[in-house]
Chain A
């Protein structure tokens, strides 16, 4: 680890991975700590945790991850300080498909799910719009990690008072010629998926599922799709919205 930054309730871990391949936008790593992570005397956490890459600056070997302390794994990871060691397995999975349509990218994210939109912004070459939703102004501190976002908060303490999907709906009405890139809590993603379906707008959604391995071995992270169960770790985590009947996968957002 080379740095730990605090952004409101969120923590950015910056580490160096000089030997590994550089990630593509939307790919993820399995993270755990070298010390005090199961195995020895400790109990939970036991399995590594999956995190999308927040940013992978082109100069150097740094990888940035965005975390929020919500359970035993994230709690332990949020305690890290340089020069503690972080164990990485990755880059893993299939990320965003960049501008495959002649459509303006429309990025929509919520909470800690804004992470893969930052690296996506870094890699997009055309003009795009970014809409972010947070619980309140304190959480909206995470918005500083992205460029030029429009904000919505549940309590109205920053930006639009209401849901980010309301901003999204307005935006699609004004300019339907967009492709949506979404990541956030399951209820938000399901609303985004519903909008994609209703307005026949192409969309890519970065989903989450509990994973034991991250590389296709355990078959534990499946989500139901129109093509049957897909392993989110090697067939995702980014899936076409049209493949999904719902983005509310059992066990996600837990």
Chain B
């Protein structure tokens, strides 16, 4: 099932969603066995920001009917810490590395791209555009013009693939997708989490320390499938589809809807080996489909 995605050779189409699999923590918990049989064909690291972030106050999690609401707040060591401590270790992984970055202004994104893209270990960058631009107050990935301006600033900085991770919290995802394509994005990934909220049954107050959070897991699968289909109809760019993938069948559905790669997210929390399992199930289901033809 090997394929080329934006010029990067991959053994198969199953990767992880950013922030749902920590290769270094997993190695601490499960030993080298896990990294030797790495469950994904590429590793997408957790979001890196210019400055270190503590993340949101707890509680950060709420279980939904068939899903998870989280308000983690992108804790990370910041760009300097990532370059110094994490990148040398992640460079040792047996699969290509995609680094997810987020800035609060186009200049911050530019700094992240300029620092990370030249590194040999970095195969591609994924831009998290689900945050507000502090200069305009607009969510970068929710406004076509805002996204065009961002890509206009950072696209000339590197020849490496720039994957734009789209937010589903928009009225017209195809308009944002077309803006990304026109401004030179190499690929799109979707969906990010869907904004949601839970109230503490004991107090009636918001449960999450961050007040609202992002919903993920099988509860959002149908929405992901529809958004991938919509974006596929709008652009020619390669697509990484994700949202509620638990089984090979779910991955096959996203591929049929127009995705080129499929990312496993929340399911890796339930089963750290989910990536390998989804791939095995996908292979079986595709084999079955071919035989039936």
Interface residues of A, Cβ cutoff 8 Å to B = 32, 38-39, 42-48, 89, 92, 209-224, 228-229, 231, 234, 249-251, 254
Q: Is B120 an interface residue (CB 8 A)?
A: no
Which residues in chain B, 112-138, are within 8 Å of chain A measured between CB atoms? none
The distance in angstroms between the C-alpha atoms of A250 and B60, with both chains bound, is 9
- B272 cross-chain contacts in A, Cβ below 8 A: 89, 213, 215, 217
**Besides the known contacts A39-B66, A39-B270, A220-B70, 7 further A-B residue pairs in the complex with CB atoms under 8 A apart:** A44-B66, A46-B66, A211-B61, A217-B26, A218-B269, A229-B58, A231-B25
Interface pair B59/A47, CB less than 8 Å apart: no
Interface pair A219/B59, CB less than 8 Å apart: no
Q: Is B290 an interface residue (CB 8 A)?
A: no
Closest partner residue, chain A, to B34 (CB atom): A215
Shortest beta-carbon distance from A75 to chain B in Å: 13
Interface pair A219/B72, CB less than 8 Å apart: yes
Q: Is B40 an interface residue (CB 8 A)?
A: no
- A42 cross-chain contacts in B, Cβ below 8 A: 66
- A254 cross-chain contacts in B, Cβ below 8 A: 59
Interface pair A47/B270, CB less than 8 Å apart: yes
The one of A46, A215, A219, A231 in contact with B67, judged by C-beta atoms closer than 8 angstroms, is A46
Given A217-B269, A222-B60, A212:B70 Cβ within 8 A: yes
Shortest beta-carbon distance from B65 to chain A in Å: 4
Q: Is B55 an interface residue (CB 8 A)?
A: yes
Interface residues of B, Cβ cutoff 8 Å to A = 19-22, 25-26, 28-30, 54-55, 57-61, 63-68, 70, 72, 75, 207, 209, 217-218, 246-247, 266, 268-272
- A234 cross-chain contacts in B, Cβ below 8 A: 25, 28-29
Interface pair B26/A215, CB less than 8 Å apart: yes
Shortest beta-carbon distance from A18 to chain B in Å: 17
With a 10 A CB-CB cut-off, give which of A32, A216, A220, A254 has the most chain B CB atoms. A220
Interface pair A216/B59, CB less than 8 Å apart: no
The distance in angstroms between the C-alpha atoms of A32 and B268, with both chains bound, is 14
Interface pair B68/A219, CB less than 8 Å apart: no
Interface pair B21/A217, CB less than 8 Å apart: yes
Interface pair B20/A44, CB less than 8 Å apart: no
Interface pair B58/A250, CB less than 8 Å apart: yes
The distance in angstroms between the C-alpha atoms of A48 and B61, with both chains bound, is 13
Interface pair A47/B63, CB less than 8 Å apart: yes
The distance in angstroms between the C-alpha atoms of A231 and B46, with both chains bound, is 15
The distance in angstroms between the C-alpha atoms of A92 and B63, with both chains bound, is 21
The distance in angstroms between the C-alpha atoms of A48 and B270, with both chains bound, is 6
- B63 cross-chain contacts in A, Cβ below 8 A: 44-47, 210
Shortest beta-carbon distance from A77 to chain B in Å: 15
Given A210-B61, A229-B75, A215:B70 Cβ within 8 A: no
Shortest beta-carbon distance from B66 to chain A in Å: 5
- Give 22 pairs: A residue, B residue, CB < 8 Å, sorted on A: A38-B66, A38-B218, A39-B218, A43-B65, A43-B66, A46-B63, A46-B65, A46-B66, A46-B218, A47-B269, A47-B270, A89-B272, A210-B61, A211-B61, A217-B21, A217-B268, A219-B19, A222-B58, A223-B58, A229-B58, A249-B58, A250-B209
The 3 A-B residue pairs whose C-beta atoms are closest, nearest first, are A216-B25, A251-B59, A43-B65
The distance in angstroms between the C-alpha atoms of A156 and B70, with both chains bound, is 42
The distance in angstroms between the C-alpha atoms of A214 and B66, with both chains bound, is 18
Given A218-B70, A234-B25, A213:B268 Cβ within 8 A: yes
Interface pair B67/A39, CB less than 8 Å apart: no
- A48 cross-chain contacts in B, Cβ below 8 A: 270
Interface pair A229/B65, CB less than 8 Å apart: no
Interface pair A224/B58, CB less than 8 Å apart: yes
- A43 cross-chain contacts in B, Cβ below 8 A: 65-66
- A214 cross-chain contacts in B, Cβ below 8 A: 29
Shortest beta-carbon distance from B130 to chain A in Å: 17
The distance in angstroms between the C-alpha atoms of A223 and B58, with both chains bound, is 7
Interface pair B246/A39, CB less than 8 Å apart: yes
- A209 cross-chain contacts in B, Cβ below 8 A: 58-59
Interface pair B29/A250, CB less than 8 Å apart: no
The one of A39, A92, A250 in contact with B57, judged by C-beta atoms closer than 8 angstroms, is A250
Closest partner residue, chain A, to B72 (CB atom): A219
The distance in angstroms between the C-alpha atoms of A155 and B59, with both chains bound, is 32
- A219 cross-chain contacts in B, Cβ below 8 A: 19, 55, 60, 72, 75
Interface pair A220/B66, CB less than 8 Å apart: no
The distance in angstroms between the C-alpha atoms of A175 and B63, with both chains bound, is 45
- B61 cross-chain contacts in A, Cβ below 8 A: 210-212, 218, 220-221, 251
The distance in angstroms between the C-alpha atoms of A220 and B207, with both chains bound, is 13
Closest partner residue, chain B, to A89 (CB atom): B272
The distance in angstroms between the C-alpha atoms of A147 and B187, with both chains bound, is 62
The distance in angstroms between the C-alpha atoms of A215 and B218, with both chains bound, is 21
